[in-house]
Structure formats: structure tokens, C-alpha cells
Amino acid sequence: MLWIAAIVLLVVVVPVVVLLLNGVLQAARSIVPSVEGIAAVAAAGSRDLDAAPLLLTTQDQVQRTVGGLADYGGSLDVILDDAEHAR
Amino acid sequence: MSAVGAVFLVAVLLIVLALVYFLVSTIVALRRITAGLDRVIAGVGEIVEKSAPVNDVVTSINEQLDAGVELLEGLLVKKAGMSDAMGLVEGLYPGAAPAGLRAFPESAAVKAPRIGEVYTKGTLTLARLGREAPIAALSPSGAVLRNVEGGSLAARLLYPSVRHDAPEKLPGSPVIGTGARDQYERREDVGAPRKRMPARPS
């Protein structure tokens, strides 16, 4: 009886344990490249956003442009007659 | 030690060795995953930090641009009228009139006159600008084009003077008499009897 148990332990249990542990190890190792890729993409995305502060300059330029547009439009409003008046 | 005990010992030893090898390898892999996730979190944190003010700034820019569009559309409709405004839009950007003006939804239903066939592209716009137009560079001090329908002479004055208008100041007509600017001494022989020439010998 002990012989049977010993053989089962050696032939069945040990391979099963090795198989299960190998599966866990392979799963853990397969995650590593994905995490490395995600980290690289996150770093690249962060670098892409380095130009985001330039939006403040764009905002200032747009405000100035619209301000100049309003001034120019006001001048045109004074210079040109309205369509109803011209007709 | 019996043979059975030895087999058991070997089996248990193999199991322990397998456990040690695979668990240590798994731990190493999990540590690499942890380090990678730390870098991911740092990168995502930077992204969140850098993109935080973007929404407000872009919203502000859009509001400014919307105000500019409403200003220009309102000015165009006010000065040119809805019909001519749509004709001008259609002339400058063919196919844009059916979309209408953003601030005037009813403009989409306006039938645009074919202004672009009468005037060259942009000429109407420049002509309406009057003194500010580049084509009026030669007569910047001229009259502003106000009556766009009846003021054809004013419109012609905007163009370089090639053949449309006369010289600014022609030489004045000569003034004669005592009021003339240039007084000349009167000749003695003017009005006097004609001198008789000596008779030619025959």
C-alpha cells in the first residue's frame, strides 16, 4: 500500500504540482511585456502633453484677435451704412 | 531507511524544489509587474496633471471664437442684408450658403443671389470696405463708399485712375482784359492805319 502511495506521489502529484506552478509562472511572465508597453505609452502620452501649456498662448492670441476683430467691426459699423439705410 | 521511505523522501524533495523554483520565479515576475505599474501610474499621473487645465482653456477659446463668428456674421448681415450676405458667402465659398450662418438659422432658407458672377472674388468685399480697402490705396482720402447702389462714381474712384476720371486740375482758361493776371504792353501798330508800301517802280 505504501508503495502505491509513493509511486502515485512521485508519478502523479509531482507532475501536477509542477504543471500548476508553471502555469502561474507563465501567466505572471506574460503580464510583464504588457505592463512595460503600457508604461512606455503612458510616458509617451505624458511627453505629448508637454505642449499643452502652449494652449494658454493660443488662448491669449485668440482673445487678442477677437478683440481686434471687435474693434475693426466697430469701425466698419460706423463707416458703412446698414443695409436697410442704403436701400 | 526502507525503500518506500526513500521514494517518499525523493518525491517530497522534488515537490519542495518545484515549489521553490516556480514560486521564486513568480515572485520575480510579480515584482517586475509592480515596477512597471509604478511607472504606469507615474505616467498617467503626469497626463492627468498636464491635461487638467486643457478643458477650461479649450472651452474659453471656443467661446472666444464663437463670439468672433457671431460678430462677423452679425456685421455681415447688418451691412449687406441677409440676401446679399448669403450671396457673398456663396460667391466666396461655393456651396456654403445652404448651410446658413450659425447665428442666423433662418439664413439657410434664403436663396442666395449669384453675386460671384457679377463681381470678381473678393472685389465686392473690398469695395464695401471703402477707404480701408487695398484697392483704394491710390485715393485714401477720397469719399467713403456709402451708397453701394447709387454711388457708382465713388466706387470708380476706388480704382487707380487709368481712364475713368479726368486729371485732378486742368490748366485754367486764359483770362483777358483788365482783370487778366498777365498784362501785356499794347503794341503801337495794333489798330493803327496800315502802312502803305512804296509804289513799285514799273
Sign of CA pseudo-dihedral B154, B156, B161, B165? negative
Give residue A37's pLDDT band: very low, low, confident or very high (50, 70, 90).
very high
Model pLDDT, residue B154:
55
Q: Does some domain include residue A73?
A: yes
ipTM above 0.85, yes or no: no
Model pLDDT, residue B175:
75
Q: Does some domain include residue A20?
A: yes
Q: Does some domain include residue A85?
A: no
Per-residue pLDDT at B96 exceeds 70: yes
Model pLDDT, residue B198:
74
State the smallest CA–CA distance between residue A72 and chain B in angstroms: 10
Q: Domain limits at A14?
A: 2-80
Domain count, chain A: 1
Q: What is the pTM of this model?
A: 0.53
B19–A contact, CB cutoff 8 A: yes
Which residues of chain A are within 8 Å of residue B25 when distances are taken between CB atoms? 25, 28-29
CA atoms of A48 and B79, how far apart (whole Å):
45
Whether B47 contacts A45, CB under 8 Å:
yes
Residues 89-118 of B with CB under 8 A from A: none
* Number of neighbouring beta carbons within 10 Å of residue B128: 20
What's the pLDDT tens digit per position in B153-184? 555 565 666 555 555 666 677 777 777 777 77
Which residues of chain A are within 8 Å of residue B129 when distances are taken between CB atoms? 76, 80
How is residue A67 written as a grid cell? 478683440
Domain edges within chain B: 15-47, 66-118, 120-166
Interface test with A, best of B13, B31, B54, B64 (most A CBs within 10 A): B64
